[in-house]
Amino acid sequence: MLTVILLLHLICMFSDAESPCEYKTAGDNVVIKLKIDELNPDDHLIWKQSQIKVYERKNSVVKTKKEGFDIDQSGSLIMENIQTNKSGTYNAEVFQSNGKSKAKTEIQLCVQEPLSEPSITFQCVDEGVHLSCSVPAGAEMSVSWMKNGQKTDKALAVLNVSWSELEPGDSYSCTVSDGINQKSAEYVQPACSNTGLKAENTTNADGDRKKEDIGSKIENNSDDAQSFLFGLDLWMVVLVAVAGGVFLILFIICVVCICCRRRNKSKAEEEKEFRLAPLIPDYSNQPDEQYMQQSESNRPSKSQRPLPPLPSV
């Protein structure tokens, strides 16, 4: 008895399990087939989306029809320009005129947003280069990587490449797939300033050093070192020097203009005073008014003056 109960329980579990998801892209037209040999006009057909009735027809009379849903002659459910809200479990059941179940259909529909083209970003670290492939969040995506046109065995969104694996001119691309469509990113060539220094430790198959390549890489690194001054790019230093020179020249011009203006103003005032000098009376040589009054008071009047002597006969 216990064995029978366990067996029935397992049967119920498997019967309640959701069917495999059928993936579709938003904007597609979908037809969910009704698994029945023949649909008679007097059959009773019911379509449900997640236990919500979206279409019902009985005796050729449509009783329920939600917006965006319709059926064809065979009873299959038709949906045009589906969106993500159309995801869910779809059930269909057909009843005969006597009420007896005739057929059942169930399907799990998963509607996803259109797949966008991925992009690759890279970061230079001490161990090598980290390449990241952009993957939409919350979506079940598979990722694959290509190196120089050849598929690799890497299947993660982040690809770690060591300095020993990275060669000058290597290019990488990633491909993402959502089970329906797949998109590939443009090829990227990782470029790091210390690639040459890390490559100096590599050897060829015979164990010999690549002296010529190392020498050329050291020269390139020395050129890069010369392009810096005081921790800044050389062109930044030149730009700052030119800007400072222009500012100094403008400051000198402003100072000279101010001095010239003041000198011209002083010269104009002197010329004005020189022109007005003849028109201003000079009181510096005039006798003192008090002295004149005293002299006038000490001078005898005409009545007090002595008479002139008579002429002698």
- Whether 310 is in a domain gets the answer no
Q: Give residue-wise pLDDT tens across range 196-237.
A: 444 333 333 334 434 444 444 445 555 554 555 555 677 788
- Whether 299 is in a domain gets the answer no
Asked whether residue 126 falls in the same domain as residue 99, the answer is: no
pLDDT at 296: 59
Q: Considering 62, 93, 112, which residue would you say is the last residue of a domain?
A: 112
How far is 312 from 176, CA to CA, in rounded Å? Answer: 157
Asked whether residue 164 falls in the same domain as residue 104, the answer is: no
In this predicted model, which residue has the larger pLDDT, 277 or 291? 277
pLDDT at 75: 92
How far is 141 from 184, CA to CA, in rounded Å? Answer: 13
Residue type at 1 in one-letter notation: M
- Whether 232 is in a domain gets the answer no
Q: Give residue-wise pLDDT tens across range 16-51.
A: 444 588 888 889 999 999 988 888 889 999 999 999
How far is 309 from 289, CA to CA, in rounded Å? Answer: 35
pLDDT at 39: 87
Q: Considering 200, 227, 255, which residue would you say is the last residue of a domain?
A: 200
- Whether 287 is in a domain gets the answer no
Confidence band, pLDDT 50/70/90 cuts, at residue 120: very high
Provide the CA 173 distance to its chain's centre, in angstroms.
Answer: 21
pLDDT at 71: 92
pLDDT at 116: 86
Task: Give percent of the chain with pLDDT exceeding 70.
Answer: 68
- Whether 184 is in a domain gets the answer yes
Asked whether residue 94 falls in the same domain as residue 33, the answer is: yes
Locate 229 and state its tokens.
């001054």
How far is 202 from 196, CA to CA, in rounded Å? Answer: 10
Domains contained in the chain, number: 2
Show the domain range for 67: 17-112
- Whether 231 is in a domain gets the answer no
Q: What is the dihedral of CA 272, 275, 278, 284, to 10 degrees?
A: 30
Kindly write down the DSSP assignment for every residue of the chain, as one continuous string.
-HHHHHHHHHHHHHHHSPPPEEEEETT--EEE----S---TT-EEEEEETTEEEEEEETTEEEEE-TT-EE-TT--EEE-S--GGG-EEEEEEEE-TTS-EEEEEEEEEEEEPPPPPP-EEEEE-SSEEEEEE---TTS--EEEEEETTEE-S--SSEEEEETTT--TT--EEEEEE-SS-EEEPPPB----TTHHHHHTT-B-TTS-B-HHHHHHHHHHHHHHHHTEETTEEHHHHHHHHHHHHHHHHHHHHHHHHHHHHHHHHHHHHHHHHHHHGGGS---SSSPPHHHHHHHHHHSPPTTTSPPPPPPP-
Asked whether residue 100 falls in the same domain as residue 127, the answer is: no
Instruction: Look at residue 153 and give its three-state secondary structure.
Output: coil
Asked whether residue 127 falls in the same domain as residue 75, the answer is: no
Asked whether residue 103 falls in the same domain as residue 126, the answer is: no
pTM, two decimal places: 0.47
Asked whether residue 53 falls in the same domain as residue 124, the answer is: no
Q: Considering 54, 84, 112, which residue would you say is the last residue of a domain?
A: 112
- Whether 128 is in a domain gets the answer yes
Specify the residue for token string 């002083």: 266
| CATH code assigned at 132 | 2.60.40.10
Asked whether residue 91 falls in the same domain as residue 124, the answer is: no
Q: Give residue-wise pLDDT tens across range 47-94.
A: 999 999 999 999 889 999 999 999 998 899 999 999 999 999 999 999
How far is 140 from 176, CA to CA, in rounded Å? Answer: 10
- Whether 12 is in a domain gets the answer no
